[in-house]
Chain A
């Protein structure tokens, strides 16, 4: 069965220190009581002071020669749907065979022979499996081949009226959007398959050469918009047939004080087709329209990364990279609807160029140092420079509206950005495990946009002419943040961490933000608004014993956008997590966790009657709240030592999205809450039946209840796509046999 992350059993970090304070105190107290009970001697735990901190490990040396296991199994699924099989390939009911295996052939560790072969396969048969094979000689070379599948199901309950070939969608004759008989079932989702080859050659004690090459295909379908506005909108199925090749070459050098690595990274994306042509279900069904699919593009990067040990006290780090992204796919025509609705009302004007000749250069530089002023006092600093220089040409294109109303020209925006970041932080270790730290960060981000702005005017002959002016708009954002932190142990086994950070961003602009010549005077994207933020964090761990620990963390963040006349004006978020881990050794161990996350953002805007020329009317404000409750527990039970093993996990997730609004004239309103509840339960057992034979069995149950007004009525039309909010009770039973050899 495709494994899912279990509730983790036992705290993997028994020495980490986290304990929530303010809002979690009550619950913390309750859980601490449980942990105290769990740590009591009568429960069978040794006293921590006499217990070694080192966990028990293998008592027998590993066998040499070929070893491994093979585990064929049979999987039965019932009650599945697209959401239950979203990422595991198990979206349809029935039986299927699955296989996993491991293989390692290595000589005895004392033999002096470091050659090895190994291979593994996991979840083969589920559609999301992987295979790896590796040969190597430790200290000399390594060669690894990999194959991976990742399946992502979007919907398996979609319907669509479109027929025709993949990139040319047509509607059936006499199409009637309200008639269900015109629709066909359609599954939406993608499957990635990648092959990779990793090679590592140790040339000598100093030099290592690393090669990492992968090629991935991504195939399937996704929903996209098949409407051009003002005449209704529809969803169409867009074929996905992508391929992505990545090459990563690195030459690594290591000396006593200096280590550095020089690299070249290449990425090439290709799309099987560049356009999706479709008929608009709402208008002029006979006339096709077209949208552009992601274009072929390439990316090259050269980098060098190194560190130098200046003294035992100080280390320097540096990273520099230069990159170039290219895209030059031939342009599609303005329209393929020459005689229909979306046309120029005459001959189609020529394009200003045949392809974009897009080019974006990036430069990155990081410099850093870490020094220990004393054994207790550490200081570190960093400088980061990022530059995105968009060198794509500016041109003027025609704005194709509808039915001959090519009423405007527009210039493509060429956005560039450069950012400087300075960071300085210091940490001091006091006595009794107490630590204090503080830091400061200053960041300056300069964003600018170049575009050709078209202007219409009459020449001396009275003929309307259009000329263009190269315009630059720029924004400078300055952001400062300071933070301080203290870590202290209030009691011998209790440690806490409290951190506070605050920051302020101010943005200056060369002109009022004006994206599409609309009424934008008082607004800007949220990341270009002045902002103040404060963040509080508290975390800790009460290590009741080496086998029981209670961890907690709490975080609150508030962001206020000071000069936001319209748009986002505030974001608040809270996170609280509690985790109780019991690792008793055998026969029983387990953990319990509770978590709450809440995020709230508010914004405001105005109606203005659907026409830019009408006066402003109807100020409104809106609040969006996302809340998630998450809880779970896990138990491992090994009643007979290393033989029988039983694992039980349960998790519960309850999420809610609430939209509340207040309109100047119509008053308060709220949309129905969007809710999702997920119960997951699994029971797994491994039962040895002979020396090397183990029966592996498991049961997983997932109940998924959701209510989302976007899809909740299963709209049978070209927009609703027939989708419903996912609801399922899915069962999976697995029975397999593992043979160890």
Chain B
């Protein structure tokens, strides 16, 4: 076992052959940004001047890519060959969602992480990293306004891949995602969260408590599934049922509570006709309104 472990550690420490930059043998064009702008503002190349209105384009900040001697090539790689033959040779680091015509995701993201790793220490190993999502899959680097960084427009970017979430966010009972008051990043950290499902905080409940702190407790009377995981009962992306419940009450409650007396009663059309107070209105919550926890010394059935 020690030999195996030592071998594994040594293996992990060794550099990967060919792992170094794809651009290491290429030559820089020189001339900084002006060389590129000759074509990429008025010329035939794609226009990119919007970047000068973004933090990336500020020469006064020595950390920015354009402040360095290589200008655009800081990110796009040494492009002397591209300058000589723009129609035939592409810059070595081409950005975009994973595909044939762009650099592989690791190369692309490696460029960004060269400066931004400190902001996104959990990126490696995140679901997005594993799935080959590139930074430019979501971010528009050359535009002054990056829609994914705006609460009001962020979800549009996320829905591009998470098609099912678009439908859920438009169900009758939902969070205010359509209005932009709640953004995907209100709960999730797309760069690698601390919790499951890339949640920004380390658990479902702690994420929910950032807005719903009144449900955190601790309470005298805890409702076990509530403190265990809000998603036992709620569908946070939207639901057909009121209060974003996974199943409408009283039937949701009866998936766990099946004991004697009214708890095990079948609430059917006959009881609807008689307007049974365990079925209409808020169903069980017509009496048991404190289901998220009660601090009342006589609140052991969540009625106080």
Bound state CA distance, A303 and B121, in angstroms? 14
Q: Interface stretch among B23-31, B77-85, B213-221?
A: B213-221
Q: Which chain B residues in 216-274 approach chain A with CB under 8 Å?
A: 216-222, 224-225, 227-229, 232, 239-242, 246-248, 251, 254-256, 258-266, 268-270, 272
Interface: A329 (CB within 8 A): yes
Number of A-B pairs whose CB atoms are under 8 Å? 495
Cβ B164 vs Cβ A575 within 8 A: yes
Contact of A58 among B47, B102, B124 (CB under 8 A): B47
Asked if B89 is at the interface of the complex by the 8 Å CB criterion, the answer is: no
Smallest beta-carbon distance B80→chain A, Å: 19
Complex interface: chain A residues within 8 A of B228 (CB): 415, 417, 447, 527
Residue of B nearest to A445 (CB): B228
A244 near B213: Cβ-Cβ < 8 Å: yes
CB-CB contacts below 8 Å: A666-716 with B: 666, 669-672, 674, 676, 678, 706, 708-711, 715
B38: interface (CB < 8 Å): no
Which residues of A lie under 8 Å from residue B124 when comparing CB positions? 307, 315, 317, 370
Contacts of B169 in A (CB 8 A): 5
The residues in B between 178 and 225 inclusive whose CB is less than 8 angstroms from any CB of A are 178-181, 194, 202-203, 206, 209-210, 213-222, 224-225
Across-interface contacts of B61 in A (CB, < 8 A): 114, 138-139
With known contacts A228-B303, A721-B281, A676–B240 Cβ distance under 8 A: yes
**What sequence of 0s and 1s flags, for each residue 580-611 of chain A, a beta carbon within 8 Å of any chain B beta carbon?**
00000000000001010101010101111011
Contact B219 A358 (CB under 8 A): yes
Residues of B within 8 A of A527 (CB): 225, 228-229, 232
Whole-angstrom distance from the CB of B96 to the nearest CB of chain A? 6
Which of A254, A305, A552 interacts with B117 by CB under 8 Å?
A254
A228–B124 Cα distance when bound, in Å, is 53
B-side contacts of A161, CB under 8 Å: none
> With an 8 A cutoff between CB atoms, is B7 at the interface?
no
Alpha-carbon separation in the docked complex, A527 to B225 (Å): 8
When A18-B163, A110-B59, A299-B209 are in contact, do A656 and B282 touch as well, CB less than 8 Å? no
Alpha-carbon distance between A709 and B248 when the two chains are bound, in angstroms: 12
Total chain B interface residues with beta-carbon distance under 8 A: 142
Among residues 78 to 103 in chain B, which have CB atoms less than 8 Å away from a CB atom of chain A? 94, 96-102
Chain A residues with CB under 8 Å of B292's CB are 294
Report the minimum CB–CB distance from A333 to chain B (whole Å): 8
Q: Are B60 and A305 in contact (CB under 8 A)?
A: no
Q: State the majority secondary structure of interface residues on B.
A: loop
Known A-B contacts A223-B282, A610-B265; the reply to A397 vs B298 at CB < 8 A is yes
Cβ–Cβ contact A607 & B266, under 8 A: yes
- A628 close to B171 (CB less than 8 A): yes
By a CB distance below 8 angstroms, the chain B residues around A519 are 259-260
Interface presence of A269 (CB below 8 A): yes
Contacts of A674 in B (CB 8 A): 240, 248
Residues of B within 8 A of A595 (CB): 163-164, 166-167
Query: A30-38, A463-471, A617-625: which one contacts chain B?
Result: A617-625
Q: Does A327 contact B118, Cβ atoms closer than 8 Å?
A: no
Give B12 Cβ to nearest chain A Cβ, in Å: 4
A-B contact pairs, 17 of them (CB 8 A): A5-B155, A12-B156, A13-B137, A14-B97, A58-B48, A138-B64, A225-B289, A233-B287, A267-B210, A269-B213, A292-B296, A294-B295, A366-B202, A382-B125, A607-B265, A666-B268, A709-B272
